[in-house]
Each structure stands twice: as structure tokens, then as C-alpha cells.
Amino acid sequence: MRYISTRGEAPVLSFTDALLAGLARDGGLYVPETFPQLSAGEIAGFAGQPYARVAETVIGPFADSEFEAGALRTMIEAAYGQFRHPAVTPLSQIGDNLFILELFHGPTLAFKDVAMQLLGRMMDHALKARGERATIVGATSGDTGAAAIEAFRGLEQVDVFIMYPHGRVSDVQRRQMTGVDAPNIHAIAVEGTFDDCQNILKGLFNDHAFRDGLKLSGVNSINWARVVAQTVYYFTSAVVLGSPHRPVSFTVPTGNFGDILAGYIAKRMGLPVDRLVIATNENDILARTLDTGVYEMASVTPTQSPSMDIQISSNFERLMFEAGGRDPAIVRALMASLRQSGRFTLPTQMLGAIRAEFDAYRTGETGTAKEMARVFADCGQLIDPHTAVAVHAARKALARDPSVPMVVLGTAHPAKFGDAVKKATGRTAPLPQHLAELVAAREHFTVLPNEQGAIERFVRERARAAGA
């Protein structure tokens, strides 16, 4: 399988090259040249299979022969052996035809672990095979950073630099990043928002001298391997609910658009997905875009679901590429407009193609808190504020078509957002023991200004790949 850039001006790469590259050199995102197809029979065969077996079948065609025989299976088994639930991503039911897909049973209690546990192993494997080192940079609103630090800490081949918005992540999220004392891990508190961190991240990749000198690599969902690993749980959950004989819809709490894009990819691979529902908090740029056709940035409002406090939703670019008939010139023009004026208008055909697959709903702060309280009152289940945003949206979507089962992606454990959960429900979700110890540990982090130059200097001084 070969990978092309959404902007059409970067080298075509293999899976492992795209894995190690992160962002394409033209500023675009890598996508596969074609989507592998799974037949109804193959999907039906997933019923009763362990998660790791399904992962091997779904991910295998994207990476095909790039790992030596048995290596992908070994990495997948090791990655999902880290999860605290035997089903890896179990489903629970909270209402008529309404289900939560629990994606938070990994080491850092968020859906990011599902992809990151595998990504860490694949990168380490590829780097060792090439005898190379890499400098991994990441931008996080809290969860990606913790998952990356957990997956990469102590690894010989990589140094990891994670930028997070100073003062805008939950206490547990911050301590999961800053409580790790490992020589290859660097937590950077940037004086800005998550969008600022992500802009700097893209700036680092677009500075080709810096990028090449440091052998830069990325673990955000701009990395295609992240998205493909997240595709697996759409298959496992839909099959439990009767697919491929029955369509299933999904509602996804959305920020950078990686998680819901994975659902779209699953559909393109043959999974009978009915609707894909984008759930946003008050930072509702995507809901506005689907409504009006205009993607227009506004300022970021801090909310109790901080991981979705975002205006630049990177993976929307991959969807625009698909919905625009894979024409990179259209994507380049729209992204240039965003850079210049903070907005773009989707061409009519592209907007129509997106609306044919996606719906979008916004949930405000009061609705989020009420939803946490309602799910607790109805089912005795604590859910985190990101999941609550999505349950609220899912109820609206279900009211329009109650006949299709709706799966809400439960993206974080309630204990990660203890204050918001307690305020809404009066209850405390206890942290698992291994995290209780970590969040009590001494914190290690550096506060830096919201300037690409300052981050470049910091990374250059500390990265072991510098000059390698």
C-alpha cells in the first residue's frame, strides 16, 4: 500500500515511511492510495473473535508486507495485552438502542491508548530495523500526550516532546504527563491554547531543515497509523450489534476529527455504518460548518471537556480530500484560505457529500453536566464530560431514527475529569491504583512561550537525535 498527501505535492511513501514521517512535506496529511475492502462474510467472521485478531485483519492490508512475518501480530498482541478489560473495548447499554463503546481501559484511561500502544511498538520496531533514532513531537489537549508518554517512555530510539496548553488541561491529565521522570520524555507547558500548540507542531514539520536535522516524527492523528488503528473498534462494536446484517450509527465526541474519521474509513472499507454523528462542545466549529458550509475560526472557549476545546480540526482535511473527489488542488486552495483569512467555504458538491454521511450537534456546558447526571441516575454509570457531550448529541440523532442502534464512543474514564463528574453527579470515580501513584509524583515540565522559535531551541538542546 502506498500513501499520498492530501495536498498532492509530497513524495508518495510506504506505510512505515508515512508512519515515521507524520505530516507530509507539503503540509498535507497522508492517506492510502486505495481503501482495502472487507466482504460481508469477512466482517461477519469477526463475531466472537478476540480484539487482536480483528485488529490484525483490519490493519494488515494497510501495512501489508512491510513488517517481517509474524511481527505485526506480535505487536498487536502485546499492545492489547495492556488493557484492563478482556474485550479491550467493551460495549455497555444505557438506553433503548443506545450504547457506549468504552475506549478507556488502556493504561492512561483514554481512547488514545488504543492506537498509541500499537504506534509506539510499530515505530520502535521500524526505527530499530533501520538503525535510526527519531525525535517525536506532539501537541495535546491532555490525552494524546499522556498516552504517548506512556507508550514511548524509556525507549532507546526516541525522544518525546509533548506540548500542552498551560493551565488548560485537567489535573489528572497534567500529572499523567508531568509525573513521568524519564530521560527521553519532555513535557512542555505552552502559554497558549491547544490550537497554538498544534500550529507550532505543524510549523516544526514545515521547517524542513529542523525536521530533517532532528529526524522529526509525530504521534498526533495527523499520523495515518493512528487513524487506522482507531478503525478497528468500529468493526468490533458493530459486529456485536448485528453487523454486517444490520447497519449501526456512531456518535463521536470530536475535536481533531481523528476518531470520527476512523469511522468513515471503516465505512469505506465495507462496514455498514448508517450515520456518523459529530458531537461538539461549545467550541462548535464543525457543527457550524455542517450547518452553513462555512468553516470559520472563532476564539476557543475553555469547557469541562477540554480535550475538545479546539478550532483547527486537522483531520477534517482528510475528509475534504475524500468528499472533494480526491482533488488535492481543492484542498490546497481551502487550506490557503484558512491560513490567510481564518475561514473557507466548502464547495457545494463537497458539502453535500459530507452531509450525506455526517450529522453534527453542539452541547453546551449545562447540557453536558445534565447528561452526566442523567446517565448516572438512569444506569448508575459515571461518564466523563466528553462522552456526555456525545450522549447528548446521540439522543437527538436517535430521536430522528430510533430504529438504528447508536453507539457513542466513550473516549475517557470519568476519573480523568473528577471535578466535573463530581460537580454533576455528586460522585467520585476512583483512579486505578497505578495512576493514583503517578498523579502523586513530583512534576517535571518546562513552561515556554507560544513561539515556534522557543520550542525549536528547547527541542534542539535536548534531543539526542540532533546531529545524529
Ligand X SMILES: Cc1ncc(COP(=O)(O)O)c(C=O)c1O
Ligand Y SMILES: N[C@@H](CCOP(=O)(O)O)C(=O)O
Piece of the chain touching ligand Y by CB under 6 A; list 37-45, 79-87, 90-98, 143-151: 143-151
The CA-atom distances, in angstroms, between 458 and each of 213, 447, 462 are 14, 11, 6
The set of residues, in sequence order, having a beta carbon less than 8 Å from that of 374 and lying 6+ positions away, is none
Using rule CB under 6 A, residue 411 touches ligand X: yes
Residue with Cβ nearer ligand Y (89 or 256): 256
Using rule CB under 6 A, residue 22 touches ligand Y: no
Using rule CB under 6 A, residue 254 touches ligand X: yes
Shortest separation between residue 350's beta carbon and ligand X, angstroms: 20
Q: Alpha-carbon distance 117 to 121, whole Å?
A: 7
Residue with Cβ nearer ligand Y (347 or 445): 445
Look-up: residue for cell 467555504? 345
Residue with Cβ nearer ligand X (251 or 411): 411
Shortest separation between residue 419's beta carbon and ligand X, angstroms: 15
Q: What are phi and psi of 371, to 5 degrees?
A: -65, -40
Which triple of cell numbers denotes residue 416? Answer: 480523568
Pick what 412 binds: ligand X, ligand Y, none; C-beta below 5 to 8 Å, kind-dependent.
ligand X
Binding mask 200-229 for ligand X (x = CB under 6 A): ---------------------x--------
Q: Which of 135, 176, 220, 303 binds ligand Y (CB under 6 A)?
A: 220
Using rule CB under 6 A, residue 303 touches ligand Y: no
Which triple of cell numbers denotes residue 363? Answer: 452541547
Q: Please report, as residue ranges, which positions from 127 to 146 form the binding site for ligand X (by CB under 6 A).
A: 143
Which amino acid is present at 431? L
Residue with Cβ nearer ligand X (161 or 264): 264
Using rule CB under 6 A, residue 256 touches ligand Y: yes
- Taking Cα atoms as reference points, which of 453, 465, 458 lies closest to residue 188? 458
* 273, 266 Cβ separation under 8 angstroms: yes
Piece of the chain touching ligand Y by CB under 6 A; list 14-22, 142-150, 240-248, 289-297: 142-150
Using rule CB under 6 A, residue 253 touches ligand Y: no
* 257, 319 Cβ separation under 8 angstroms: yes
Look-up: residue for cell 481533531? 256
Catalytic status, residue 128: no
Using rule CB under 6 A, residue 311 touches ligand Y: no
- For the chain, what is the largest distance between any 2 Cα atoms, rounded to a whole number of angstroms? 60
* 228, 258 Cβ separation under 8 angstroms: no
Q: Alpha-carbon distance 146 to 151, whole Å?
A: 9
Residues that bind ligand X (CB under 6 A): 110, 143, 221, 253-259, 307-308, 386, 411-412
Catalytic machinery residues: 112
